[in-house]
Amino acid sequence: MLKVLQRIIQEVNAAHHVQEALQIVVTRVCEVIHVEACSVFVLDPISQRYILIASKGFSEGVDGKLNLGLDQGLVGLVGQKEEPLNITDASLHPNYCYFPQTGEEKYRAFLGVPIIHQRRVLGVLVAQQTKARAFDSAEEAFLVTICAQLSGLIAQAQSAGVLPRLDAHTFEHRVNGIAGVAGVAIGTAVMAYPLAELDAVPDRKIHDIDEEIALFNKALVSAREEIKSLGEHLAHHLPVEEQALFDAYLRILDNESLGAEVITLIKTGQWAQGSLKQVIQQHSRFYEEMDDEYLRERGADLRDIGRRVLSYLQADAREKIVYPPKTILMGDELTPARLAEVPQGLLAGLVTAKGSINSHVVIIARAMGLPTIVGAEGLLLHDIENKTVIVDGYHGVLYVDPTLSLLKEFKRLEAEEKELSRGLEKLKEVPAETADGLRIPLYVNTGLVADIQTSLNAGAEGVGLYRTEVPFMARDRFPGEEEQRVIYRQLLESFAPRPVTMRTLDVGGDKELPYFPIDEPNPFLGWRGIRITLDHPEIFLVQVRAMIHASQGLNNLQIMLPMITNLHEVIDAKALIARAHQELCDEGFLVHMPRIGAMIEVPSAVYQAQRIAQQVDFLSIGSNDLIQYLLAVDRNNSRVAGLYEGLHPAVLQALLHVVQVAHAEGKLVSLCGEMAGDPTCVILLMAMHFDSLSMSAASLPRVKWVIRNFTLSRATELLEEVMQMHHPKMIRAHLENALEESGLGGLVRAGR
């Protein structure tokens, strides 16, 4: 049977198009398990009806014409049950529906198997036979295996839009993704297609090298002028550090950087387009192979830059896009430069098929207040263009061609959202304190100096997490002590006397530096974080010296150690920090020893939290990594991202344990990460008595509103209730209902 399966898969892979592949499948199934009929029904994502795509043993000409509702017939039942259905005589089953155009009335035995991709039913494969009989387990297993192979093929075909479709004007299309930036936007879909396709450029030899270099330099200058113009276009909307991203693009386009590498290849006789392709592919591949999402985004940015230069080399490829009012920009992936192309005042929202909530484009969208959805699987770009769409940035749902009633409801929610935002702006100067007296300081997470003003405008009471690796990533070498001191000093001065918690360098494995590459089979479990800096004390000492020196006269510095997995790492790191402090004192600097904290991000640290707390001044739970490690879920992997949930009972138990043991030692505990900025989670964090929360500046006003409009006593009741629940969705629904009852429903959906 294995050889038969391999042969069928080879035939399917060799097919010229998906319809041919599916016809091969139904034909081979009939031959292998000796049945008279086999058919494939595919679920149309817009109409939500099953369409007969391929068949053998049915009447000629029926393929593509027969369609069934989700609850119609035995096919609909297979889809609903999401499991095989093996029936001796189909005509006797209560769900049996007879369709005379198929000519299937003669078939009695029925075996239907769902085609499922990433928990989504894509279709149903059916085998039928004239003789009434039950299919045996080997036959059923064969069809299940075939369906597992078909699922990826059909998912890809749906995304590419190459499957037959029903007229969808009367149907509402809903696409699920990941909520990137909260909010509601209603507008017209505009596709941001790739400017030019680098991968399609062939290699080609040239004779006039000087002419080719001149052609490339001209394209480089044009691309630089375009990027500069786009940066100026967004200058009034973005913090200075985000504007610096466009400066980085310009540096990449410099003759001494990307330009020099391309010209070197041109001199070998390769034409400009081919040379550009090779350089961009080499560098982008380096970034894309990294597990750190920030660095992967650098790869996307680099490809975008390469396409822009290529489009000037291919002058005819540049196309003028018309942007209507309330443009909803969509694409497989978007870059900051593509956002900047939209004329001021016309951009209303963003949707991407790829990407993560921490991508460059989401950071900028958050700063601009643009509702955003990322990772929208099944986004059929060619079908959506120029259609009316609704972006629900709260739940990560895109509605295409919404019904009038849905459109009316979201317009009301959009108006209420604007009213809500105006109300949140008034909270800047008031404390985050519950009605019954619980005060919780709210800090910001940042890796960008330019976030300072945005954070202060949002009412941040300090920095709960400064990611020091960002300045390291922006360079082509390790920054020196004085370079680091200047950066740290600016941050410390801006927030003084508010506390600033700086995390020591957290790279390695999943956050590689271009000049410090690490090749590991499993980077998440490899050489990273504190492991690297303890193995390289020369790097660690320079950094903590720069931090402590920068705090002279301010004394608002706190140092935090990342990815702690055992007690000895804390003890060794503390010894190095004490050494750096003593060296500075011996050199005549009047500096104070900073408070030292440890991050709880892995299960081993959870179980050693009390011993760790005895060694440090405070603990900080990094919720993003802790959830990932506790649940064994990579939230950037679309196959399992739905399992990434901070309200999982195991996560809640871990958080409560850490807080309790730390408080038993008289130590403060903070939480930083997405959970801290989630209004639903904040209720439980209040009840657990976290001493502070740290989040993005954009999330801070909403969290403050929850705290000020909730009571500790009610939060404690809810914590006791949810700790008895076993499913994250039940817990989230219970908490959202509590927010609704308290008049805070507008924080988890649009409107009040």
> Out of 38, 147, 672, 681, which one is annotated catalytic?
672
Phi, psi of 535 (to 5 degrees): -75, -20
Helix, strand, coil percentages in the chain from 3-state DSSP, rounded to 5:
50, 15, 35
Strands ordered across the beta sheet of 67-69: 67-69, 49-56, 37-44, 120-129, 109-117, 85-87
C-alpha–C-alpha distance, residues 696 and 296, integer Å? 21
C-alpha–C-alpha distance, residues 686 and 702, integer Å? 14
Q: Which residue shows structure tokens 């998906």?
A: 18
DSSP letters for 498-545: S-EEEEPP--SSSS-BTTB----S-GGGSS-THHHHHH-HHHHHHHHH
The conformational region for residue 86 under phi > 0 = left, psi -120 to 50 = alpha, else beta, is beta
C-alpha–C-alpha distance, residues 727 and 248, integer Å? 45
SS3 state of residue 194 = coil
Q: Which of 69, 16, 62, 61 lies closest to 44 in space, CA to CA? A: 69
C-alpha–C-alpha distance, residues 344 and 465, integer Å? 33
SS3 state of residue 335 = coil
Structure-token pair, residue 699: 């999330």
Contact yes or no for 697/455 (Cβ under 8 A): yes
360 is catalytic: yes
- CA angle, residues 663, 664, 665, in degrees to nearest 5: 85
CA 387 vs CA 57, 161, 488, 708: distances in Å: 39, 16, 48, 41
Q: Which of 395, 273, 274, 379 lies closest to 333 in space, CA to CA? A: 379
C-alpha–C-alpha distance, residues 336 and 250, integer Å? 13
C-alpha–C-alpha distance, residues 620 and 602, integer Å? 12
Contact yes or no for 292/512 (Cβ under 8 A): yes
Indicate the residue type of 481: E
Rg for the chain (alpha carbons), in Å?
Answer: 29
Q: What angle, 0 to 180 degrees and rounded to 10, lies between the N-to-C axes of helices 728-741 and 712-722?
A: 160
Q: Kindly give, in sequence order, each residue whose CB lies less than 8 Å from that of residue 615, ignoring residues fewer than 6 positions away.
A: 567, 570, 571, 574, 598
Contact yes or no for 324/304 (Cβ under 8 A): no
C-alpha–C-alpha distance, residues 554 and 552, integer Å? 5
Q: Which of 185, 187, 186, 680 lies closest to 393 in space, CA to CA? A: 185
Characterize the bridge pairing of strands 184-191 and 388-392. antiparallel
> Out of 360, 549, 581, 648, which one is annotated catalytic?
360
Structure-token pair, residue 343: 């004329």
Contact yes or no for 722/731 (Cβ under 8 A): yes
C-alpha–C-alpha distance, residues 392 and 350, integer Å? 10
585 is catalytic: no
C-alpha–C-alpha distance, residues 545 and 540, integer Å? 8
C-alpha–C-alpha distance, residues 460 and 498, integer Å? 9
**Active-site residue list:** 360, 672
